[in-house]
Amino acid sequence: MDKLTLQFDIIKTKLLIFMAIAGGSWIYVLNGNIYVQMLTSILLIISSYGVMVNLIKLGELEKRIENE
């Protein structure tokens, strides 16, 4: 059970970081500079993917915890 707790904490921390990046970078997509828009769009897509992957992992861990 200790290993599952550590995995949960790691995934939760990564999820928090990706959510902070995604939450803060979308506003720069509205900026007039095309280079900033492209860079932040790429950053937003990558961080959104990271949020999605970590949410899936958290769901799988939740199922494992319920089954034990």
- CB of 65 within 8 A of CB of 4? yes
14: how many CB neighbours lie within 10 A of its CB?
Answer: 16
Q: What is the pLDDT of residue 64?
A: 81
CA distance linking residue 65 with residue 2, whole number of Å: 11
pTM beyond 0.85: no
AA letter at 49: Y
Q: What is the pLDDT of residue 48?
A: 84
Q: Please write the tens of the pLDDT for every residue from 19-48.
A: 887 777 777 777 768 888 888 888 888 888
At residue 18 the predicted structure's pLDDT band, cuts being 50, 70 and 90, is: confident
- In whole numbers, what is the pLDDT of the chain averaged over residues? 81
